[in-house]
Amino acid sequence: MQHYSMTPSTFDQDLDMSQMELPPRPTLFDFHGVSMIKHVTENWDSIQNFKARPDDILIATYPKAGTTWVSYILDLLYFGQTFPERQASIPIHERVPFLEISAPSRPSGKDLADQLPTTPRLIKTHLPVQFVPKSFWEQNSRIIYVARNAKDSAVSYFHFNRMNITQPEPVVFGSWYDHVNGWWEKKQTYSNLHYMFYEDLIEDCGREIDRLCSFLGLSPSAEEKERVTNGVTFDNMKANKMTNYSSVPVMNHRVSPFMRKGKVGDWKNHFTVAQDEPFEEDYKQKMKNPTLKFRTEV
Ligand code: PPS
């Protein structure tokens, strides 16, 4: 394992976005059948040529499924004890770079991933399965896919769109249905993929950490596991400047905090019965695979 030497984030303060000159929101366009924005397609050849390693761990999700939560669990499991200084100085989005992102005047996610000095490298992606750089499959890298039920994902994404000016209208990364199903199908043929659910994490985070450890071949001590479980609670991550995204300039937490509610079933506060009925009808049409089941309450 190598020492983690990345410099601390340059955006280490709460930013008042009302005082800032902000660029317009990017436009959504069709990219090989998936709605995308230039911030995630601009570097496409370079992303597609990313050189994954056999010990890389890719954390893949449709947005708002619990990416940050699982990223932080893995970061603590691997580096919590070895590099405690990392926890205090480097925001989670730099420890676990977002592979396909390239925003102006910031290092691209691909460059950050290339420069990661850790082993394993933890890398985040929201790409649908068909867009994942082929080297991950060739190297048989381990992949953790986190899925969250459609209604809570929609509500969480809605609030995220309000607070993050790099989000287009309505949402990037295409259809939730294609994403969760595409990755589910991949799991049937690629055995190094651990498919997990946000609702299960809410129900019993300790059990899900045990499952992750078993997939990753890790055996933390009871004390270490307790430390991880405690560090990744919603309240602790919300209070932690290294995990709450408060240092990201394009996000306005006064509109809606990144660590917003962290619940299963918040959709009930947003969907009217009149909206829920056609949603359920459409859901039945699109979710034909009976083996992939989501819970909308726990
Ligand atoms: S992103 O922008 O796609 O990377 O967002 P992502 O991290 O996938 O999802 C953000 C939502 O996950 C919730 N979250 C948590 N819930 C419970 N416990 C913990 N520890 C936790 N960490 C993050 C976060 O609050 C967002 O969900 P909502 O429903 O908006 O609160």
pLDDT for residue 74 is more than 50 = yes
Q: Is residue 4 part of a domain?
A: no
Q: What is the pLDDT of residue 239?
A: 98
Predicted confidence (pLDDT) per residue in 218-264, tens digit: 999 999 999 999 999 999 999 999 999 999 989 999 999 999 999 99
Q: How many domains does the chain have?
A: 1
Instruction: Indicate which residue of 3, 32, 39, 126 is catalytic.
Output: 126
Nearest CA to ligand 1 atom 15: 262
Q: Is residue 34 part of a domain?
A: yes
Average pLDDT over residues 159-178: 91
How many residues are recorded in the chain?
298
Average pLDDT over residues 150-159: 97
Domain span at 61: 10-286
Q: Is residue 51 part of a domain?
A: yes
Tell me which residue of 44, 171, 170, 167 sits closest to 99, measured CA to CA. 44
Q: Report residues whose beta carbon is within 6 angstroms of any ligand 1 atom.
A: 61, 63-69, 152, 156, 159-160, 232-234, 237, 259-262, 266
Q: What is the pLDDT of residue 11?
A: 32
Phi, psi (deg, nearest 5) at residue 70 = -70, -35
pLDDT for residue 77 is more than 80 = yes
Question: Comparing 68 with 6, which gets the higher pLDDT?
Answer: 68
Ligand 1 nearest-atom number relative to CA 202 = 17
Which strand ranges, in their side-by-side order, compose the sheet holding 193-197? Answer: 122-125, 57-61, 142-147, 193-197
Q: Is residue 281 part of a domain?
A: yes
Nearest CA to ligand 1 atom 19: 234
Please state, in angstroms and rounded to a whole number, the distance separating the CA atoms of residues 195 and 243: 23
For residue 13, what pLDDT band results from cuts at 50, 70 and 90?
very low
Q: Is residue 196 part of a domain?
A: yes
Secondary structure (3-state) at 122: strand
Q: Is the dihedral of CA 198, 200, 202, 206 positive or negative?
A: negative
pLDDT for residue 19 is more than 80 = no
| Number of Cβ atoms within 10 Å of the Cβ of 235 | 9
pLDDT for residue 138 is more than 70 = yes
For residue 55, what pLDDT band results from cuts at 50, 70 and 90?
very high
**Spatial CB neighbours of 296, under 8 Å, sequence gap ≥ 6:** 149, 151, 152, 264, 265, 267
Q: What is the pLDDT of residue 125?
A: 98
> What is the token pair recorded at 241?
């400047």
Q: What is the pLDDT of residue 254?
A: 95
Nearest CA to ligand 1 atom 9: 64
Nearest CA to ligand 1 atom 13: 262
Ligand 1 nearest-atom number relative to CA 98 = 4
Q: What is the pLDDT of residue 85?
A: 82
Q: Is residue 138 part of a domain?
A: yes
How distant, in Å, are the alpha carbons of 44, 152, 194, 199, 283 from that of 298? 39, 12, 21, 7, 19
pLDDT for residue 12 is more than 50 = no
Domain at 135, CATH number: 3.40.50.300
pLDDT for residue 9 is more than 90 = no
pLDDT for residue 5 is more than 60 = no
Average pLDDT over residues 95-105: 92
Q: Is residue 187 part of a domain?
A: yes
What pTM, to 2 d.p., does this model score?
0.92
H or E segment to which residue 62 belongs: none
**Spatial CB neighbours of 75, under 8 Å, sequence gap ≥ 6:** 86, 92, 95, 96, 122
Average pLDDT, the chain: 92
Question: Comparing 69 with 84, which gets the higher pLDDT?
Answer: 69
Radius of gyration of the chain from its Cα atoms, rounded to whole angstroms? 18
179 catalytic per annotation: no
Helix, strand, coil shares of the chain, percent, nearest 5, are 45, 10, 45
* DSSP 8-state secondary structure symbol assigned to residue 64: T
Predicted confidence (pLDDT) per residue in 185-215, tens digit: 999 999 999 999 999 999 999 999 999 999 9
Q: What is the pLDDT of residue 103?
A: 83
Average pLDDT over residues 36-48: 96
Question: Comparing 87 with 150, which gets the higher pLDDT?
Answer: 150
Ligand 1 nearest-atom number relative to CA 157 = 30
Q: Is residue 2 part of a domain?
A: no
